[in-house]
Amino acid sequence: MGMDIMKMVEVVGIALGVIGLILTIVICALPTWTVKTIIAGNVATTEVVMYGLWMSCVTQGTGKTQCEVYNYMDNWEYVLQPARAMIPTAIILGVLGVMFSMVGAKSTNCIKDKTSQAKLIIIAGILFILDGILIIIPVSLVARSIISDSSTQIEGKFELGASLYIGWVAAALLLIGGVTLCITVGVFGWMMGIFGWILSLVASALSVSIPFMHYPEPHYRHIWMVLMTTSISSILGALGVMGSIFGTRCCNCIKSNRIRVKARFIVGIFFILAGILQFTTVFLVDHYLRMDVHLQLSPFALFTQHKLVILAEVCRWSASMLLIGGTILCCCIFKRNQPDSTTTTSTSR
């Protein structure tokens, strides 16, 4: 019964990935990313201009629509440039994710080896998650540019197009589908830990680069404390990542189920400690921004504060992922004891 439920959950994850891929192809083709209504003296001369990734369309008040490929670069084409690179890449990753998930699914029986099936499902889940990230970034950037454009020109103002809303839905479906596939294989905990560890590396790089931006004397005088916490957190996260690779069920490095559970528990402890250190960094930066008078009197205060806020935000995301991943891995010790795969059961006399 439990196996049937896992198959159903796996099918749901694959279905969400397929629907997200279809919606991604739709937003790549439709010229409805931004919409601009030009109101003239009468209804017949009113025009609705729609911009897409590859073409623009003009719908007149009479109902006639004309579309043409971009033959010159205007301001909105520069805004859409990141989407032109990320959306096709997302489509390629989505197609690969669907292929891997179809081949590795338990319901298709294309591959009999369970270890190979688990590895393909993990790859498909990672591809779906990356796909969702590649979609949500350009869609959010374009929406932010439209919302921040407060110009009230006579010709009209840009508005959010239907493709942006479809893009958010596609990204959400792909992210949920990727996470669902990872949950079915039992690697969601260490995946969250790995993503949190990657963000901790970014936080360490930021904490190292901040003093060099204000040479010879950094305005953040206690930057060494942040550097120490982020560095130790990155080291603990690296130990957790190395241990999680050997403790997963899809890896045959450890044969004994009991030793594997202990390894996952230790990895979870490493991730939790790394997450606590990342939250400590957030508290240190917040305390400094509130209490340090030297920062407020400095002519470079605004710039330094901006960098520290970015550092705190990265540390906050890293801590959340590390704590979630570590908690999930530690909870495996409360599961019902499974028979050790390295021992053979004795026959009944």
Q: What is the pLDDT of residue 306?
A: 63
| E-only strand ranges, 130-218 | 158-160
* Residue 284 per-residue DSSP state: H
Residue pLDDT, tens place only, 217-232: 545 556 677 778 888 8
Residue pLDDT, tens place only, 73-84: 455 666 778 888
pLDDT tens by residue, the chain, 349 residues: 445 677 788 888 889 999 999 999 999 988 888 888 776 666 556 778 888 888 888 887 666 777 777 655 455 666 778 888 889 999 999 999 999 888 887 777 777 777 778 778 888 888 998 899 889 988 988 888 887 765 544 456 778 888 899 999 999 999 999 888 887 776 777 778 888 888 888 888 887 776 655 544 545 556 677 778 888 888 988 888 887 766 665 555 656 667 777 777 888 888 999 999 988 888 887 777 676 555 555 544 444 456 777 788 888 888 888 898 888 888 766 654 444 444 434 333 3
DSSP for 121-155, please give it.
HHHHHHHHHHHHHHHHHHHHHHHHHHHH-----SS
125: number of Cβ within 10 Å: 28
Measured over the CA atoms of residue 283, residue 284, residue 285 and residue 286, the dihedral's sign is: positive
Roughly how many angstroms between the first and final C-alpha of the chain, as a whole number?
30
What's the CA gap between 11 and 4, in Å, rounded?
A: 11
Class of residue 121 by CB neighbours under 10 A (exposed 0-12, middle 13-18, buried 19+): buried
92: number of Cβ within 10 Å: 12
Chain mean position to CA 105: 23
Structure tokens at 27: 């937003």
Q: Which domains does the chain have, with CATH numbers?
A: 1-185 (1.20.140.150), 188-343 (1.20.140)
pTM above 0.85, yes or no: no
Which residues neighbour 76 within 8 Å (Cβ) at sequence distance 6 or greater? 34, 51, 158
Rg (CA), the chain: 25
